Amino acid sequence: MDCVKNIMVLVLVMASLHASMATVYKVGDANGWTIPVVDYYKNWAADKTFKVGDVIVFEYNNHHNVLEVNQNDYDTCNVTAALQTYESGNDSIALSRSGYFYYLCGIPGHCLAGQKVDIRVVDDSSNAPSPPPRPAPAAVPSSPLKNNGASASSKGVLGAVFGLAVLAVAYSVSG
């Protein structure tokens, strides 16, 4: 009985940790989804780690649309076999699995001009392989008295604190 309770609490904590870390990304930031300068969307995606459950939002005017395509069609800007088509101008897409998602604009010429983005989604569960190393952020000099580890993992610490709070509440309720 205790064991079942512990497992339920653990699941609850993990679910809340997962929910607390979902992020919404507006593709292209303030520029939205448009014909960009060279490599704009590639660079936009490069410094982000998309996780299962995150949401990407495409915002654009009616001169564009969003097609999800396979990798080959992405590479060649082939718009004839879209897996999904979005054209509301404000499309929120939940990243429902790990792996790659490929998006391009289906208006003739736009993909070839660089209006395309590939999104690599990593599995957020603790036993999943961690993402490959990315360039280290610029080193921030810090006083030798400070704990260097603290700021680098503040998100993780916050998540852990939140998890512990949920744990405490769960125990006091079932107590």
* Least distance to Cu ion, CB of residue 34, Å: 7
CA distance 27 to 174: 43
Nearer CB in complex with ligand NAG: 33/50: 33
If one asks whether residue 113 binds Cu ion (CB under 5 A), the answer comes out as no
Nearer CB in complex with ligand NAG: 94/164: 94
If one asks whether residue 59 binds ligand NAG (CB under 6 A), the answer comes out as yes
* Least distance to ligand NAG, CB of residue 32, Å: 8
Residue 92 zone, left/alpha/beta (φ > 0; ψ -120 to 50; rest): beta
Residue 39 to residues 27, 104, 118, 136, 137, Cα–Cα distance (Å):
13, 13, 12, 21, 20
If one asks whether residue 125 binds ligand NAG (CB under 6 A), the answer comes out as no
Give helix then strand counts, H and E, for the chain. 5, 8
Nearest to 155 by CA among 21, 51, 1: 21
CA distance 142 to 129: 30
Nearer CB in complex with Cu ion: 51/110: 110
Nearer CB in complex with ligand NAG: 16/78: 78
Of 13-21, 77-85, 110-118, 147-155, which part binds ligand NAG (CB under 6 A)? Answer: 77-85
If one asks whether residue 51 binds Cu ion (CB under 5 A), the answer comes out as no
CA distance 175 to 168: 10
Of 44-52, 74-82, 85-93, 108-116, which part binds Cu ion (CB under 5 A)? Answer: 108-116
Under 8 Å between Cβ of 115 and 36: yes
Instruction: Tell which one of 90, 151, 153, 154 touches ligand NAG (CB under 6 A).
Output: 90
Q: Which residues bind ligand NAG (CB under 6 A)?
A: 59, 76, 78, 80-81, 90, 92
